[in-house]
Amino acid sequence: MPVMSEGRSSESGFPIRAVYDADDVPGGLAARLGAPGEFPYARGVYPTMYTSRPWTMRQYAGFGTAAESNARYHQLLAAGTMGLSVAFDLPTQMGYDSDHPVAHGEVGKVGVAIDSVEDMRTLFAGIPLDQVSTSMTINAPGSVLLLLYQLVAEESGVAGPALNGTIQNDILKEYIARGTYIFPPKPSLRLVADTFGYCRKEVPRWNTISISGYHMAEAGATPVQEIAFTLANGISYVRAALAAGLAVDDFAPRLSFFFVARTTLLEEVAKFRAARRIWAHLMRDEFGARNPKSLMLRFHTQTAGVQLTAQQPEVNLVRVAVQGLAAVLGGTQSLHTNSFDEAIALPTEKAARLALRTQQVLAHETDLTATVDPFAGSYVVESMTDEIESGVRELMGRVAEYGSAVEAIEAGFQKREIESSAYRVAQEIESGDRVVVGVNRFTVDEEEPYQPLRVDPAIEAAQRERLARLRADRDSAAVEHALADLRTVASGTENVLYPMKEALRARATVGEVCGVLREVWGTYRPSDRF
């Protein structure tokens, strides 16, 4: 009989045995596993994985003005970053210009402020957009920022088919865990589907959505909840695209995912393997996808920001290294490693460089890239993979009982489940049952002084001045005409991205474009039932 380790369980609540053997993974293990790059992709989506090239090393960055963020991007590229990942400030994420009253005090604080094509031009000045892969963490106005990026690329002679990158564009998880939504679910799903259709024709290499479990995990979701709710959202996006008349193999190859990597390394590796296996079966068996790329769950990983501590922040370097290792052993396609000082403030240049160096050590000083899927056949990991898959399928079934992820969101189901898990973890930390080094164990009496990076409050005034000059210099009649065209299309059924692009080309602002859509589609107000 397997030996149980006393009192230990996984983050998802499964008991962890002290010893695993072949009896824990029945059913012809080798036959079930398959080969890397083959259905159901538990061992990775590509046959050679990192033996031919390492994962894409991204660093999430953006703060203050477009010029300051551009300087940081050049520093990261010089340090060896292989892809950019853009953080936007809250006003931009919510579709407001920097001079809107609700933007006061938030301009440039948690990301870069982008109000118009002029800001986007400054943000990517001197960066070859046909050579760099760019990920943009933006959701409700994701299509707007993508179009600004495309306009800037066209100005530099780079056509849409040459662009490579991702917009997060995952609005459903905003209703569940993050809150940066604008429109109600139905028109939001239309905007997502329109983006799928637009990119298929105009920007074919672009990943049109990054279906995100990361933010749900940061809000307290267990690994099982993270995967179950993310894949349930993915099903809703697929159905929305099919309802819009797209064929599954026309858009599914450009779907991507975004997950967290925690310090619980074994369960995280199992989680990624289970997610790939479930998605492959869903796309083949439920939606009839035939293109192998439609079946592949490709994902970006970010190390767990919620596990960073302000106490003894240098310890976060160790946490991030373990989390990055879990992502790589789990087969991620790209990785962002958090900076050790992010629990205190925006990362300093040195901290961001150290975070990148962590990935470079994993890629170049270990033997992780020498073989594909090193945990394949591990009794413990394969057993955990089966447990997670079973738990995910059961929870996805509970979501389906509401009709879809959207109906479950409107009933508050996912939010309640995640909040319950977050409360349990908080209780465990408070009681000391869950050890957090430097917080409730192994503390020090006095912390060393640390000088964090701060955003200059004068940035907001400067951004407002730039907006005033933009509005004074542009052709106002052309802007109004373009916005009127957008209003007409948004009221109908045609693809809104085409008139949206023309409005942005005429130098309409992000806030003005989103304002037109607010007029037509309304804004989302969560139910007071939860």
Going by the DSSP 8-state scheme, the letter that residue 132 receives in this structure is S
Q: What is the pLDDT of residue 230?
A: 98
Pairwise CA distance, residues 92 & 373, whole Å? 39
The dihedral through the CA atoms of 24, 26, 30, 31 has a sign that is negative
Pairwise CA distance, residues 321 & 149, whole Å? 32
Pairwise CA distance, residues 214 & 401, whole Å? 24
* Residue 347 and residue 453 in contact, taking contact as beta carbons nearer than 8 Å: yes
Q: Give which of 529, 517, 492, 494 is closest to 198, Cα–Cα.
A: 494
Q: What is the pLDDT of residue 1?
A: 41
Pairwise CA distance, residues 43 & 36, whole Å? 5
Pairwise CA distance, residues 294 & 45, whole Å? 11
Range list of β-strands (E), 203-330? 209-212, 255-261, 299-303
Domains of the chain: 46-431 (3.20.20.240), 475-521 (no CATH)
Phi, psi torsion values for 227, nearest 5 degrees = -70, -45
* Residue 298 and residue 45 in contact, taking contact as beta carbons nearer than 8 Å: yes
* Residue 260 and residue 215 in contact, taking contact as beta carbons nearer than 8 Å: no
Taking each helix axis from N to C terminus, what angle separates 265-281 and 379-400, rounded to the nearest 10 degrees?
Answer: 50
User: What pairs with residue 71 in β-bridges?
Assistant: none
Going by the DSSP 8-state scheme, the letter that residue 508 receives in this structure is -
DSSP, collapsed to helix, strand or coil, labels residue 137 as strand
DSSP, collapsed to helix, strand or coil, labels residue 69 as helix
* Residue 513 and residue 504 in contact, taking contact as beta carbons nearer than 8 Å: yes
Residue 83: count of CB within 10 angstroms of its CB: 22
First and final C-alpha spacing in the chain:
45
Q: What is the pLDDT of residue 4?
A: 47
Report, as ranges of residue numbers, the positions in the chain whose pLDDT lies below 70. 1-7, 30-31, 528-530
Q: What is the pLDDT of residue 530?
A: 46
Give one DSSP letter per residue of 174-214, joined into a string: IIIII----S-HHHHHHHHHHHHHHHHHH-TTSB-EEEE-H
* Residue 404 and residue 236 in contact, taking contact as beta carbons nearer than 8 Å: yes
Give one DSSP letter per residue of 71-104, joined into a string: HHHHHHHHHT-SEEEEEB-HHHHTT--TTSGGGT
* Residue 350 and residue 451 in contact, taking contact as beta carbons nearer than 8 Å: no
What's the predicted TM-score (pTM) here?
A: 0.92
Burial of 273 (0-12, 13-18, 19+ CB in 10 A): buried
* Residue 413 and residue 402 in contact, taking contact as beta carbons nearer than 8 Å: yes
| Cα 79 off chain centre by | 23
Give the chain's count of helices (H) and strands (E): 21, 10
Q: What is the pLDDT of residue 2?
A: 46
